[in-house]
Amino acid sequence: MKVNVWLVRPLPHGTNHMQDFLKHNRIAVGYPVGKNLTNLDYSQIRQLLEQHSWEEGIGNVNTLVNVMNDGDIVVVPDDNKKDVYFGEIDSDYIYEPLLDKNKAGSGYPHQRSVKWFFNKKPLLRSELPEELKGSMRYPGTIADLTKHYEIIMNVIHGDKVKNEIHETLEQKALSVIEELLDSAVPEIRLKAAEVILKR
């Protein structure tokens, strides 16, 4: 299954909930409509939002409820314009009825569970690749960043991935040299032995 990457701002219902996201291992959007949205399609969600004059939020809500998948990656820039958190979605849509209230500090009942990378520590926006920083200027709540999948995988796993590739190439090279130890030509056998002994 294809992995998508999503920009998710931590400002559901107009309040910065970055610390709640980290504490509870969640991401969320606002739009408290008093109802669990499980099994509702785009048009049904839109109708509910229209009843509260929030139809402009249909893209955000539908994406979180119906489009995101377990295993997708999220990029969550804190509102301080400095810190950026990275996580992996590890649940289906979750409805939190206690947060389904239209009041400050609440109002973000539509959620997904997340495993945070880097022990919940942020990376500095200033140190991220330019292409990614450019896309993170998008002002909306949720955006599709899948076109930056490889860049983001490199940010998350960077050195680990490079080391694994290096180790794989080294193993292949050693296998070739080991085969040359059985060559019928004495000079080739000697050269292969020298290379191995120098390691």
User: Has residue 135 been placed in a domain?
Assistant: yes
Report the SS3 class of residue 146. helix
**DSSP assigned state of 148:** G
DSSP state string for 58-86: HHHHHIIIII--TT-EEEEE-TTSSEEEE
The radius of gyration of the chain from alpha carbons, rounded to an integer in Å, stands at: 24
Q: Are 64 and 93 in contact (CB under 8 A)?
A: yes
In a shared domain, residues 121 and 27:
yes
In a domain, 149, yes or no: no
Q: Is residue 150 part of a domain?
A: no
Tokens of 15: 């309040």
C-alpha to C-alpha distance for 172 and 149, rounded to whole angstroms: 28
**Whether residue 103 is found in the same domain as residue 178:** no
Same domain as 39, residue 104 = yes
Q: pLDDT tens across 38-62, in order?
A: 999 999 999 999 999 999 999 999 9
Determine, yes or no, domain membership for 152. Answer: no
**187 and 93, same structural domain?**
no
| 108 and 29 in a common domain | yes
Quick check: 27 pLDDT over 80? yes
Both 72 and 134 in a single domain? Answer: yes
* pLDDT bucket at 166, cuts 50 / 70 / 90: low
Beta strand 5-8 with 73-77: parallel, antiparallel or unpaired? Answer: parallel
In a domain, 164, yes or no: yes
- Give the H or E element holding residue 167: helix 149-180
Domain-located, residue 11: yes
pTM: predicted TM-score of the whole model, two decimal places: 0.78
Same domain? For 140 and 191 the reply is: no
Residue 76 is inside which H or E element, if any? strand 73-77
pLDDT confidence of residue 172:
74
How many Cα atoms occupy the beta-carbon half-sphere of 180 within 13 Å? Answer: 17
pLDDT band at 159 (very low <50, low <70, confident <90, very high): low
The number of distinct structural domains making up the chain is 2
Other Cβ atoms closer than 10 A to 172: 10
Residue 44 counted as domain residue: yes
Indicate which CATH number applies to the domain containing 89. 3.10.590
Confidence of residue 158 (pLDDT cuts 50, 70, 90): confident
Q: How far apart are CA 49 and CA 191, in angstroms?
A: 74
Q: Which domain covers residue 163, as residue numbers?
A: 158-198
